[in-house]
Chains A and B, each alone.
Chain A
Amino acid sequence: MDFPWLTVIGAVPLAGSAVIAALPKALAPRARHVALGVSLVAFVLTVVAALQFDTARAGEIQLTELHSWIGEFGVSYALGVNGIGLVMVALSTVLVPVCVLAAWNEVDEEKARLFYGLIMVLEAMMVGVFAARDLFLFYVFFEAILIPVYFLIGAFGGNEQRRRYAAVKFLSYSLTGGLIMLVGVIALYHAGPGGEQGFLIDQLTGLQFSSPAAERLMFISLFIAFAIKAPIWPVHTWLPDAAAEAPAGVAVLLVGVLDKIGTFGMLTLCLPLFPGASKWAAPTILALAVVSVLYGALLAIGQTDLKRLIAYTSISHFGFIVLGIFAMTSTGQAGSTLYMVNHGFSTAALFLVAGMLIHRRGSADIDEYGGLQRTTPVLAAGFLLAGLSSLALPGMSSFVSEFMVLTGTFIKYPAVAALATLGIVLAALYILLTYQRMFTGPVKEYSNGWKDLSTREVLVVAPLVVVILFLGVYPKPVLDVINPAISTTMQQVGVTDPEPTVAVEGENK
């Protein structure tokens, strides 16, 4: 067995959190430096690991590790990633240093150790959940990740009463989903071959189920958990509260990475484990996805709180991602995977710029802003760029993925795709309306003496913008990693892409 890359990538931030916890009180302000350094090390390790990854075989699980953990219950410590897992791990380790930098001056010194320690734990869990190749291990990470997030929202958010409410709401939703999922996980173990490695995902793929009903029930139990996580209408209401109350950096990780666990699970667990049930449920899920797209966008238009607005736009975007996954075409699924990455970056940019605004103004109420384009042009440009990426302007990375999702859906379900396409008008509305309300108009008094972005803040936003633009022009490096994994998934589900209709017509002639 080779060097355990994934374990190390996860262990480094975990060790970092221990170091931060052990810091004496006098050194508490140094916690952020430790966190930044550690997360950068994790990022570099991810880059090195990605170089070990053989792109040509990206459809297979690589960088694998396998150790028996609780042999009596068939639980193993198994890690490994295919192309999809790799990009998700990379997304996590890229965003953490950015978020650490974004929160630089926004955490009280006394609480800094707790904050950065929790962020480090969170990073370790994120790596674990995307790399787990044992269903039970996945479940453990899936649930354990709630702990740091619960405290990050509950202890560091805005208004004390509301942030506690939000944290509890987040926890109850996620736990409910998780427990429903646990039933499915155990049922699946019993349907599988069992034995010492009975929870390995590879062992559970391609099972013959005793009845379609059994398969469907297990599928539903997993899907509900992922739908809550993602979140999909109608189990979405925890997200606006959680995202609005969490500090900006945490909101980024929450919406940008954590929620992807849901869509990641749908794509890499629901589909391969339950191919029959997935196809059976696809029409219903597509309907839910379209509702999410339009509903999220409409609600975003109606928001007055900046962070809630961004949260609702994400609900709309998650609708797109789920749409692409369950359209069951390789274009759609590859688009969805790319969408997960792109959404991570564009939402991160939006939340972080929003955080900078709120830090200056002390309020998230959109109506309290106005005329900022004149006072702080760079900040305005940052918001506009992030917003344009969110509305999937061509040339930005999100356009490529959104278009792939829609096209992938269109070739199988034209009507569904047409409805979802209306979302692009609504997206333009919610972004430009907000931009208009916050940045245009006459300069107002409150912004006298405001400073434009500091070097640190530019360092936070610029990398995201660069990635967004680069992937918009040249998404090939990411797509090359994703595509083989998607074709493997397509084979496991047993679906193929439809042929172009004109070619088919030509043959029939």
Chain B
Amino acid sequence: MTLISAAEPGVYQAAEGTVQSGAWLLVALPALGAAILLVGGRKTDKWGHWLGVVMSWAAFVWGALLFFSLLGADAEERAIHLHLFTWIQAGTFQLDAGLLVDQLSIAFVLLVTFVGSLIHVYSVAYMEHDPDRRRFFAYLNLFVASMLLLVLADSYLLMFVGWEGVGLASYLLIGFWNHNPAYATAAKKAFIVNRVGDVGLSLAIMAMFAAFGSVSFTDVFANADSASENKLTVIGLLLLVGACGKSAQFPLQSWLGDAMAGPTPVSALIHAATMVTAGVYLVVRSGPVYIGAPDAQLVVVIVGAITLVYGAIVGCAKDDIKKALAASTMSQIGYMMLAAGLGPVGAAFAIFHLLTHGFFKAGMFLGAGSVMHGMNDSVNMRTFGRLSGVMKITWVTFGLGWLAIIGFPLLSGFWSKDKIIEAAFIGEGWRPWVFGLTAMLAAGITAFYMSRLFFMTFQGKEKRWNDDAHPHESPALMTVPMMILAIGSAFLGLALGVTNGLVHWLEPVTGAHGEEEPVLSVPVITGATLVLVAVGVALAWRMYWQASVPVTAPRGSLLTRAARHDLFQDDINEGLFMRPGQYLTRALVFVDNRGVDGAVRGLAALIGGLGGRLRLLQTGLVRSYAASMLAGVVILLGGMLAVRL
């Protein structure tokens, strides 16, 4: 292995003929799968879904091999760079397409390919009766390829390709059933809101190029400390805009709830486990930029905190099981964002929570899909209740996910979320108190709304479903992935957290931090959090298990109604952007027709009118023509004589 950059001594060139030099296969395999399925068309209908599954697992196997090869290397040599080809070159702009396999990206690779492959398997059964199942798998493969490109890219611009690729896959999958107009609108909304974020990300990339003359991670991070704080703050904030779009963070969060229009496996994979966490990846990856821009970091933390609370509040009021889970996702990503904004103190925990969240949230979404599968695709939790008896596997696996997310001791969420809350309490002045307490309080709300969801669906006083629903357990192709994810939800946190293994693993990327102490002692934080969680669960137990749940939602308090309405986010967007935009468009169309084009047409009409008048001089009388000729000659001659005189 040879050193390629003196600036960042930890990056090595991949050696020929090793697993590492084939890292491009990670992207290429699922991309190939997608291409075959899309180009092959109906001919591949019979076996297409299995091809998708195989390609996804193949990527996982390769990722695992890569991981072990990294594991075998020394800690300083775990960042492998793979140069592919010269991509864009013009004037001073030089950019090679290359992959960067390091501790952070390999963690994502494993999460994406493993959870992704499980969801592929699940979808084989879930989409069995859909005539377009092949197309669905093509899109899923496309998503996996793009997501891997996103996390493996060695430059911001190449990452942006993956970034938009997952956006496209998300668009296609949300709108998979686009014969339903509402679903088509949801898909479009997701893409547009993401595009707003992309403006930020694009500008950030441009600003980086203007500042550093390069947009590769290596060059940007190597020079970040010599850039002025202003510059870094601007770049950091622009990156955050991009991250907000993709990760459904405040104020660009409005699309995620609607995105649940997609088939449930999509919600599990894209809108819970992987794609929506890309924003967190971006912020963590850009750590060196944020370290030099404390103001931008603060904004990241604030955005995370707002979304954390926002999602939690919305989650408390939703009756649609998928939308409640979506709100929860938003809220959990708020946790990650908050942690990522804290810098080296929290970044590793952000990734930790991201991984555990990937497991338990995907598991719960698959569980929700299983419930829908048994309940004629109904998503209204008010018509569920006491499903524990008829769907045992779903109940248990979902239950493990539920316990994990609320931070039940020793399960995954406990390890990762608690660490974030602790990290939020680190610092000086007002910040640790505000952010720490927010994070802690939100843990309580999380416990409440997740318990509400769980009790309304699986427990409760009575069953509320109609007689025409015949809830039944799903086939093994669906339950096995759920079980595997449930095991992950239970023990992943323990495996990665108990020795701080993941945190040490990520240290070369996220930066090491000293032994900063939280403003409260750790046992106090853990204790207080657990108490809040217990309160949340108890409250939910009393309201949704002990008491009977009305099938039609009661009107509720002002806050409930607001939360049910997503705190009026759509109305605000509509009032601020959509309607003025529509008026502007209409006005401009009018102006273009009447004003810009009208001016030209007016000129044409003027000339035409003038011609019409002058035409009348042509009387057709030969003698008058002759007279005018004579008069003209006389005037001309007279004029010439006059001038000579």
Contacts and interface: CB of A to CB of B under 8 A. Distances in A.
A373 B223 contact: no
Given A373-B178, A436-B188, A502-B211, A299 B589 contact: yes
B161 A422 contact: no
Interface string B158-195: 00110111001001000100111101110010011001
B41 A378 contact: yes
Contacts of A447: none
A331 B178 contact: no
Interface string B63-92: 000000000000000000000011111111
A71 to B, nearest CB: 38
B88 A475 contact: yes
B522 interface: no
B559 interface: no
A482 B90 contact: yes
B589 A302 contact: yes
Interface residues of B, number: 61
B178 A440 contact: yes
Contact of A395 (B165, B213, B223): B165
Interface in B549-601: 584-586, 588-589, 592, 596-597, 600
A502 B165 CA distance: 31
A476 interface: yes
B212 interface: yes
A142 interface: no
B42 to A, nearest CB: 9
A443 B192 contact: no
Interface string A452-476: 0000000000000000000001111
Interface in A126-171: none
A342 interface: no
Interface stretch (A54-62, A202-210, A406-414): A406-414
Interface in B196-252: 196, 198-199, 202-203, 205-207, 209-214, 223, 226-228, 231
B625 interface: no
Contact of A505 (B86, B226, B585, B596): B226
A24 interface: no
B161 A395 contact: yes
A483 B89 contact: yes
Contact of A441 (B165, B179, B588): B179
Contacts of A237: 592, 596-597, 600
Given A330-B91, A476-B89, A479-B89, A425 B195 contact: yes
A490 B92 CA distance: 13
Nearest to B184: A440
Contacts of A506: 226
Among A371, A428, A476, A505, which residue has the most Cβ atoms of chain B within 10 A? A428
Contacts of B161: 394-395, 399
A172 B607 CA distance: 13
A403 B179 contact: no
A480 B209 CA distance: 21
Interface of B: 38, 41, 85-93, 135, 157, 160-161, 163-165, 168, 171, 175, 178-181, 183-185, 188, 191-192, 195-196, 198-199, 202-203, 205-207, 209-214, 223, 226-228, 231, 584-586, 588-589, 592, 596-597, 600, 604
28 contacts: A303-B589, A334-B90, A393-B168, A394-B164, A394-B165, A395-B165, A403-B202, A404-B93, A407-B205, A408-B90, A421-B199, A424-B199, A425-B196, A436-B184, A436-B185, A440-B175, A441-B184, A474-B87, A482-B90, A483-B91, A487-B91, A497-B92, A498-B210, A500-B211, A500-B213, A500-B214, A502-B212, A503-B223
